[in-house]
């Protein structure tokens, strides 16, 4: 008797549970869509940094060469 009642309650509540899960899924899809739009918008404002790194590497090399020259001048002030 108790198992029959439990099965009946389960069968009756199943459509409500399915509706609830569908609503949660729709809300999640809506939020994911909003976040995707935000990320796409942010992506339009970002620029690639590859050239910046190449430029900075060149500047570091130039500065290192300048430091070496200054050190040489300090060690040999006559030249």
Q: What is the 3-state secondary structure (H, E, C) of 11-73?
A: HHHHHHHHHHHHHHHHHHHHHHHHHHHHHHHHHHHCCCCHHHHHHHHHHHHHHHHHHHHHHHH
Q: Give the model's pLDDT for residue 78.
A: 72
The pTM of this model reads 0.46
pLDDT tens digits for range 48-70: 666 777 778 888 888 999 999 99
Please give the mean pLDDT across all residues of the chain: 86
Between 29 and 48, the higher pLDDT residue: 29
Q: Give the model's pLDDT for residue 48.
A: 67
């Amino acid at each position: 008797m108790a198992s029959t009642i439990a099965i009946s309650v389960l069968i009756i509540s199943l459509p409500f549970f399915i509706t609830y899960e569908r609503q949660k899924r729709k809300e999640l899809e809506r939020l994911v869509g909003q976040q995707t739009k935000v990320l796409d918008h942010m992506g339009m404002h970002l620029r690639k940094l590859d050239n910046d790194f190449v430029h900075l590497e060149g500047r570091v090399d130039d500065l290192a060469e300048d430091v070496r020259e200054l050190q040489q001048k300090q060690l040999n002030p006559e030249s």
